Chain A
Amino acid sequence: MSLHAHVVADVGALHLDVRLHAAAGEVVAVLGPNGAGKTTLLRALAGLVPLSAGRVVLDGRVLEDPATASRRTAEDRDVGFVFQDHLLFPNLSVLDNVAFGLRCRGVRKGRAREIAAAWIGRVELASLAQARPGALSGGQAQRVALARALACSPALLLLDEPLAALDVQARQSMRRLLRRHLDAFGGPCVIVTHQPLEAIALADRLVIVEQGVVVQDGAAAEVARRPRSRWVARLVGLNLYRGTARDHTVALEGGGSLRTADAAGGEVFATVHPRAVALHPEAPRGSPRNAWRGTVAEIDLHGDHVRVHVEGPIPIVAEITPAGLADLSLSEGQPTWVSVKASAVDLFPR
């Protein structure tokens, strides 16, 4: 089970030309600024927007190929789609919403409801099976939407900003639930988001789309370390560590630990913005709670800013100005001191 897609589509002023591959069980996050064509990409994969060229192949079945004028309609693609604002049918109960796809596939009413009820249990909403969508909170509605998409056991799962419409609390619990269901889902999954940390938390691989084309494609850590566009650098180009938090300390998986301003517990992502990383010729004095000695491994010049990669107990990237670089007279292979304020370490539960 895998997805191989080359999506070329024109919607309004947008010209989309994206190659996307996802293996069985792989979660690919499509990230990009507003208007980049992310939603159009998903809609094209689902068959809701026609391709003008390219090809979509799922599990060896050609879903669409304009060159041979072959096209499966959206209803015939076996694709699960979760929309940003859930789009539950307001006239049907939660149970019948989840049973909808099964009924369309010819499953008898009683059996469809049984399967639907099991899925509603799996998204922890068993007590709300008879409720109408209007009576649900945003988070609950989005869980039902997930159950509705998964109940048909689709060959491909597409999620369009599934957390964007939720408040902070609901977002966190929905993300955990989503993580669990994505782990259990055997097929390829494509999730669209404009939230880098969400993408990192949910996906195995990031695909960055800007103005209709892929600007970068790789593992989350790789994209974060070496962002190839301004937008990625600004939003994804973070120092990213997996670790376990306890009180004011995060023990990092790769060794070392970071002090944090806020107390936390459990498995976390710790992020440090490169601009919050300071470099010093000698051991820093004063307030920084995190300081260590490292070696400059690489210096990337990006016009008005410089990204300095420092190897050491905790590998880290610092973003400084060209003037700062000149002041420090840094060069590759040279030792340097690194400091990070405790308040600059952001935690994000995994």
Chain B
Amino acid sequence: MSGLPAPARRAGTGTGDPGRRGLPRPVVPLAVAGLALLLLPLAGLVARTPLRTVPEILADPAVGEALRLSLLSSLAALVLATVLGLPLALLFARADFPGKSLLRALAVLPMVLPPVVGGVGLLLAFGRRGIVGGPLAQATGIVIPFTPVAVVLAATFVAMPFLVVTVESGLRLLDRRYEDAATTLGAGPWTTFRRVTLPLIWPSLAAGMALCWARALGEFGATITFAGNLSGRTQTMPLAVYVELQRNPEAAYLLSLLLLAVSVAVLVALRDRFLGGR
């Protein structure tokens, strides 16, 4: 993650750079085409969303439910990912144990795994006949898949690695002598973590949480596979967008625009990291 900002910053300092004179001829038209591909869908969303009908669409119970469920489940996923991901990042950054690099690679795999594959995996682990879900259902009668809990688990599964990776890089960049200083002043491990480490890595943690939440909010593949698409129960915003597109396109446009707004807000909040502070 930390590798992204630097090149982005460099690319932004183009004016007056003597190196720019030597650009090969096809670069500009191809770059413009690339930009168009990225920007036209956004323009379409903004242009075609019927803002007049907003109250009407939001009054639709299916839309309202999807919105509520998305917010609650993504926030729950964020809390779960933070509570579990922060210790995991600490372990990866600070501890040494056999097989660490392999475990670390597996733990961040969901970042590049097709989400639908993640959903199948979740079913096989926590499903009614899964390796954990089976015994759990037998012992307690609790069934996870196709419930709101499954929505949260699916979102956490795909989103937590973003938090882990970001926080871990923050921990690695931290000057550990601050912690030494706290220790010589009589601070135990918990006090040192709470009053020194945590404030010092806060920018990384905040960035990780923002990325994690954005990813959780947009989760589709793992959710539909593991939690289904039950309106009012497991149908989150992205699923609702997909469904509404057939039924009521204008609602789909509005929901899409909402999700777009959230993404832009996250990007703005992280502007120092991803937009080079410009």
- CB distance B186 to A75 under 8 Å? yes
Q: Does B191 contact A (CB under 8 A)?
A: yes
Shortest distance in angstroms between B200's beta carbon and chain A's nearest beta carbon? 7
Cross-chain pair count, CB within 8 angstroms: 65
Stretch at the interface among A55-63, A78-86, A327-335: A78-86
Contact of A104 among B177, B180, B187, B199 (CB under 8 A): B187
B188 interfacial contact with A, CB 8 Å: yes
| Cα distance, A186 to B253, chains bound together (Å) | 75
Chain B residues near A148 (CB-CB < 8 A): 185
Contact present for B177 and A75 (CB under 8 Å): no
User: Which residues in chain A, 90-137, are within 8 Å of chain B measured between CB atoms?
Assistant: 90-92, 100-101, 104-105
**Interface size range on A against B:** 20 to 34
Within 8 Å CB of B184, what residues of A?
Answer: 46-48, 74-75, 77, 79-81, 149
Main secondary structure of the interface of B (DSSP, over half): helix
Min C-beta distance of B76 to chain A, whole Å:
29
B185 touching A104, Cβ below 8 Å: yes
Which B190-204 residues sit within 8 Å CB-CB of chain A?
A: 191, 195-196, 199-200, 202
Given contacts A89-B195, A104-B185, A152-B185, contact A74 B200 (CB under 8 A): no
Residues of chain A lying within 8 A (CB to CB) of residue B195: 89, 92, 100
B181 at the A interface (CB under 8 A): yes
Structural contact, A152 and B186, CB atoms closer than 8 A: yes
Interface band, chain B: 10 to 19
Of chain B, the residue at the smallest CB distance from A106 is B186
Complex-state Cα separation, A45 to B135, whole angstroms: 54
| A87 in the interface (beta carbon within 8 A) | yes
Within B168-189, the residues touching A (CB, 8 Å) are 175, 177-178, 180-188
Q: Which of A132-176 contact B (CB under 8 A)?
A: 148-149, 152
CB distance from A143 to the nearest CB of B (A): 15
Judge whether A100 and B177 touch: CB under 8 Å: no
Binary interface profile of A, 30-50, with partner B (CB < 8 Å = 1, else 0)? 000000000000010011100
Q: Which residues of A contact B196 (CB under 8 A)?
A: 89
Q: Contact: A75 with B180, CB < 8 Å?
A: no
Closest-by-CB residue of B relative to A85 is B177
Nearest chain A residue, comparing its CB with the CB of B183: A74
Taking beta carbons and an 8 Å cutoff, which residues of B are in contact with A? 175, 177-178, 180-188, 191, 195-196, 199-200, 202
Among all A-B residue pairs, the 6 with the closest Cβ atoms? A101-B185, A104-B186, A91-B199, A81-B184, A74-B183, A87-B181
